[in-house]
Chains A and B, each alone.
Chain A
Amino acid sequence: MALTIISLMKQVPLPSEMRMGDDGLMDRTKAKSIINVDCGYALEAGLQMKNDNPDAKLIVCSMGPPSFEESLKKALSLGYDEAYLLSDRRLGGSDTYATGLAISTMLKHLGYGKGLNEDFIIVAGRQTSDGDTAHVPSQVAENMHIPQATFIEVANLVDGKIEAKRIIEGGYQMMKLPLPCALSFTPTGISPRRATLSGAVKARNTEITVFNIDDVNLSDENIGLSGSPTIVAKVANIKSERAPIKMSEGHNESELVSSLIKNLKSGKNTIEVKEKKEKKEKKRPEGYEEVDFRNGASGILTWAEVVKGQISRPSLELLTPARELANQLEEGTKVVTLLIGKDIGHLAQELIAHGADEVVVVDDERLEEYRILPFASIFELVINDKNPEIALFAATTAGRELAPRIGVKVDGGVTADCTALEIGEHIDRKNKKIFAPILESRRPTYGESKLATILGFVCPQISTARAGTFEVPTPDANREGIITHFKPELSEENFVSEIIETVIGEGGLQNLFEADVIVSGGRGTVSDDMQLVKELATALNEQGINAEWASSRPVVDEGVAEYARQIGQTGKTVRPKVYVAIGISGAVQHIAGMKEAETIVAINSNAKESIFANADFGIVGEYQDVVPELIEKVKGGFTFGLEVK
């Protein structure tokens, strides 16, 4: 059978219009729709594979309302051969779990993933700009029982196998996967092409096949609200707390920089914080039935990710919310941490010192490096054994693909990228029931403008927590806990994908978490390969300031900076005392990673860039003019108002 490349695509509101509403918030009704950015990269990846495999068939699949046909047409005009849309009102309210199930059911209906020896590759976007979960590719892969690789930048089909470059914290990994398999793409690979007129003419004459759920034999219990293990309980607005920026004034760079120094001295603008109205304690309605849906599940399971023989920082951070949740639950609720790797037994005590009550150690030489299939299988076994009520993962590239795959295995929902986790209750007024205790997972959404609270009703309730959000707990070397060893039987099938090479920059640049000043460069600084950005950081170091340089995504895309230095939603979240953003536009994804900095200084040649709406001090000026001036000043003792220790 000839090769088929299946692209999964979603249509989303134009991200730049998400902030265009009257209140500055997204207005979906007016927003223009586009192909989700990451999906555009996946479409391109499929087209690139076709370049080398001219006989391959390209199909594009989507699930959503009929308006999605517009984007499917677009995909056809790019060169896809066939387009399919699963569209049905009954799909409304589906969460990622139900979506993954629905899409894989459609694919099976089309003849793929029935366990035959087929040649197909699923290419999908890493995540969508209106959902941001990154779950669906993993869930589809698990439903289809095929191997997967997520966060892929480029992939080539070589001798019947996929060779892919996977982005991981601090570096990348080269992987080899057999067919069939599923790949999800980051928006850092080859930019999506523009349609050609000849393609558009062809697309005009190609019909899109539209299915409803009956066509693909999907029962309505498995989709929509009833098929979704999670619900969105509440969406609250996130108000920006940043006061208006102080802009530098001047006719040339030296005046501008002097003005900046003066402004820094006089301090930021402030806004009056309105007294928050005392929240009325909601009365618990009477006569409601109280439901403990846990059915005996108890305890919190976390994953300790091991990178280069050490427990990664986000996994230690995770023990903070894990401990807090355990404390909010019944006495004796335990935090159990799963530690997988090769020769890692000695790390168990460190986890206990940071708050784990029990560490389950799986030591196997085949598990030296993280791989999704065996890790997911081990989790399934441990979950079946321990029956935890909650499972937490750090939202690293590994955690974000592992959690949803496990979710499908245990028929549970997953909440991605949370910034707050709490125990609460859910009042179901329709059925007069109170579900308690329940995990309230809160996550920013709609381009960070809203905070959604997500609830899951299946145990374990799975969430991933955004790296950098929680503090690493203070270790207590005398803390005691149990260490158990577990030797799972793992079939060879778990090891069909190989890791060829893992490349990680210096220590994953942990110093970015500790630096007092981060000098960060964006697209505006690639002209000299960020030379001046680095020089500014060095000059600060010479003054005795702990400074580090970093970058925004486009610079990493261009290969000028390594991924470990990327700040933002898909990179690191940092909170230095001073963040100097140079030539950075201020996309919401970037802001998400640096907005907690105490003071933000923005330098950009374009006064309308949104970075200025998210900074305390600003200079409108050209990179190559302003930064040398700034370096001079630093050499003369200017340290952005920080004291030299």
Chain B
Amino acid sequence: MFKKILFATSATEASDHAARVAFNMAQAYDASICIFHVLGVPTRGFSQIVMDVKTKEKVEIDDEYIAWVKEEIKVYYSKQLEKAKSYNINYDIKVAVGFPHREILREARNYSPDLIVLGGSTGDDEDSVYKKSMVGSTLQRVAKAAPCPLLVVNRPAASFWGGISQIVFGTDFSKASDAAFKFSVNLAKDLDCELHIFHALDISNMHMGRLLTQDEIESQIRESLRRIRGRYIGELKEIKDYSFDVWEGLPYVEIVKYAREKHADLIVMAHHTQKTSNEDARLGSNIEQVIVRAGCPVISINK
């Protein structure tokens, strides 16, 4: 299922939990792994000076510097790499210069991985200048345009991971969700694990414009359950265990709660192709909220 993993990392503590998952996955699936680091953002127009995203220093990029950074990364992940070697896992370390989201996407296009694992970024990035110059975080941008599933581990707790036996698939019945569903089914089949299909009925009045009565809520829940049955159940023949539920509430909160209840090892959701251009949508969409809160890795699928 995963033959090639692109692990985009800052090679700092912020990416440690993602690293744990990435290397574990590579081992479990015998995948080759490309450790990808975006060195920095070009400042200064056409000049050769770059701001190192890690150290926040302005450096002049040359081959020597890049070689040095590669070496640093190798040292940083020496334990994992040694282990990987003993499992005969292919790995490659790559360093690029540019805006992180763009370079990750570019590499994804080149390398065509089956999965991108996205590490965390270093602390105070949010107010760094290059960030301000564009809307949305690296995560948002990669999630929106990634050509393959994107796995994100936000909380360290989410990475203590002993394989996948419970998958939660959260749906909102969109087209993108269908793709996410397909992926979840294949994964569940492949790993021989349980699949939990979940929909959260959004009852925040912000969304609906008015408060719903309890009767309305209940009838909508029944309707949603019908939809799940109609849309998904037919394709679950080869899955040995599955369940489905519809809860009401704030979708991202409900999904996280649901995943906790099911002891989920992985959440799969669709990333909506809605525009990221709205400034206030910093962590706007559901999936981003889920990523922030979930106690397990989250896979985002956009097509």
Binding between chains A and B: no
Q: Which of B's residues lie within 8 Å of A, judged by CB? A: none
